[in-house]
Amino acid sequence: MVKYLAKRIARSFLTLAVILTVVFCLLRFMPIEGYFQNFDKMTPQQIQVGLKEMGLTDPLPAQILRFFNDLLHGDLGVSRIYRTNVSVSRILADKVPVSIKLGLWSMVLSLVIGLPLGAVMARYQYRWPDRLGTLFIVCIQAVPAAVYYLYLQLYGSSLLDVGLLFKMEDPKYWLLPVFSMSLGNVAFYGMWLRRYMVDESNRDYVKLAKAKGLSEGEIMFKHIFRNAFVPLVQYIPTAFLNTVIGSIYIESLYSIPGMGGLLVMVIKKHDNAMVQGIVLLYACVGVLGLLFGDILMVMLDPRISLGRKEGDR
């Protein structure tokens, strides 16, 4: 386990380095307007002086090395457009907790609804609970998310008597964003748990349990559910990342002051330092999600060994 974790952590750092290098290079090929708040009013000489002060006239390899050196010292740079000369780290520190809170509540709701949905569908396979659950999953996967997000906002706002502008202090304003963000993962958990449970129901240990006289409900929820949940659990940390990324649209739709809306805004404003900081954060969550998924899978099923080659992803 220790050897595996050391190898995965080293690989994770390498992956992050590659991602950041690619993003850094792509941003350097973007128009230079993103580095100046009043670009239209500046003379060519002033622009060149400003670029030189920021080190942007140096060769690209030198810029990359300086960027990683600053990163190792915890310096993500400063915002040039979104909030002039304010540290990127300080801005993210105000935004990240909002997105994490939104994502965590959405994940909890998706697990509370999605897992029972998949279990009931498997328990009543090919009967009306299974058919209704399948209809829900197909609708969620077939209809573009933006469509049902808008309908939920339109009718949900009237039903809950809430305004379109988000208010953090009012719990009612959290209901629609959290519910909207959870729908995709509800369908995901329901679909795959049903599939895994149906596969497990054909195993020999299930036939043995039936021969011993155990009830169908006891077999389904005490034995089949437990074994079917093991391959699903590795996707939970990664699904959290997908939930946070999905908040890009939700936060913009409901004017939530989190990272999602911030990313859209800084991309539009060409604030390159802010874009780099947010991409770094998303990349870290994604890499850690894969690692924690493997660890959770081993904790739930001791038969799995991450030290072997077949346990490596």
Residue-level pLDDT at 206:
79
pLDDT in tens, 168-215: 888 888 999 999 988 988 998 999 889 888 888 878 887 788 788 777
Question: What pLDDT tens digit does each residue of the chain (313 aa) get?
Answer: 667 677 777 887 888 888 888 888 887 777 777 677 777 777 888 888 887 877 778 888 888 898 888 888 878 888 877 887 888 888 888 888 888 888 888 889 999 999 999 989 988 888 999 999 999 999 998 988 888 888 898 888 888 888 777 888 888 889 999 999 889 889 989 998 898 888 888 788 877 887 887 777 778 777 788 788 777 777 777 676 666 655 778 888 888 888 777 877 887 777 777 888 887 777 777 777 777 766 766 666 555 555 555 444 4
Average pLDDT, the chain: 80
What tokens were used for 311?
Answer: 């346990």
Full-model pTM: 0.76
Residue-level pLDDT at 308:
52
What tokens were used for 234?
Answer: 């590795």
Give me the helix-helix angle, 259-269 and 236-254, nearest 10°: 60
d(C-alpha 255, C-alpha 12), whole Å: 33
Domain borders along the chain are: 2-89, 97-301
CATH architecture classification, 97-301: Orthogonal Bundle (1.10)
Task: Give the number of C-alpha atoms closer than 13 A to the C-alpha of residue 42, restricted to the C-beta side.
Answer: 15
